[in-house]
Structure 1
Amino acid sequence: MQLANFNGIVSNLLDNITPIEITKGVSQYILWKNNDGKLTAIYKFEKNSKLPFLDEHNLFDEHIFVISGVFNDGNKKYKQGSFIINPKGTSHIPQSEEGCTILVTNE
């Protein structure tokens, strides 16, 4: 019988994470981050909120999953359940008119 190996498993509970206010109406909840700058985070956008800067992906691809609401990248709206890949070298201006919650990872 093979035994499971649980060494190195990391877990986190969203309720235990102190949010970082990126700008008015946009909060970041870091679930995991390493020393290279890779991360997995939840972002919550209140209605009519927008990052005040261009979000550039110079080092890694970015993967976004829209958990709830409608996310806008400055070019297109993505409803709940959408999955977006922003390849390395691309940029966008994250925002939401309706409000949304997204899961973001980069690699």
Structure 2
Amino acid sequence: MGRLDAISVSTMQASLIDDVPAIRIGAGCTRRDLSSDGSVRVWVVDMEPGSTWPYVDDHDTGEHYYVIEGEVIEGRTRFGAGTYVRFLPGTSHRPRTESGVRLIGFNLDPAAMTAAREAASRAHRFNYSQG
């Protein structure tokens, strides 16, 4: 398969993940920020064997990720390739790996979450069918 150039048409964007610049987060840990609509952050994390995320990761809006390859360890629990992991809003974690891991994840942008809550509140206040 040949290289895929970024494609941008009115309804689609595509790029090879490994062509997205990697941001070094800490020793053995990188993140690639993928394009999104601004309300959701989408990223790929690569962690080398024996690495630990350099800080505790707090999630006001929660976090979701899917383990593509390798294994990630959260506390004492190991999640291998093919596992979907979800952290609820207000939680935190500090992943590590012994074997190395690649995962793709997403979470809501906190500003977008606040705007959605405000819109829901306005919709409820002005719903005349509820009296």
Q: Common fold, TM-score beyond 0.5?
A: yes
Match runs of 1:28-39 below 5 Å? 28-33=31-36, 35=38, 38-39=40-41
1:41-100 CA distances to partner (integer Å, 9 max, x unpaired)?
Answer: 110010010112110001x22111000011112341101110011011011001111111
Q: Write the distance in 2 (CA, Å) between the matches of 1:96 and 1:15.
A: 20
Partner of 2:80: 79
1:10 shift after superposition: 2.9
Distance in structure 2 (CA, Å) of the matches to 1:53 and 1:33: 25
What residue in structure 2 maps to residue 3 of structure 1?
A: none
Identity of aligned residues (%): 26
Structure with the larger helix share: 2
- The normalised TM-score by structure 1 is 0.82
- Asked which structure has the greater RCO (Cα within 8 Å, sep 6+), the reply is 1
Instruction: Note the 1:86-105 alignment, pairs <5 A.
Output: 86-105=87-106
- Alpha-carbon shift at residue 33 of structure 1 (Å): 4.7
Partner of 1:43: 45
The residue aligned with 1:67 is: 68
Counterpart Cα distance in 1 of 2:32 and 2:46? 8
Q: What is the root-mean-square deviation in Å for CA atoms of aligned residues?
A: 1.7
SS in 2 for 1:95: coil
Letter in 2 for 1:97: E
Contact preservation (8 Å) 2:20, 2:32? yes
Q: How many residues align?
A: 100
User: For residue 44 of structure 2, what is the amino acid of its counterpart?
Assistant: I
Corresponding residue number in structure 2 for 1:14: 17
Match of residue 54 from structure 1:
56
Structure 1 segments unaligned to the other structure (5+ residues): 1-5
Question: Could you tell me the TM-score, scaled by structure 2's length?
Answer: 0.69
CA contact (8 A) 2:27 2:54 kept: no
Q: What SS is found at the alignment partner of 2:14?
A: coil
SS at match of 1:101: strand
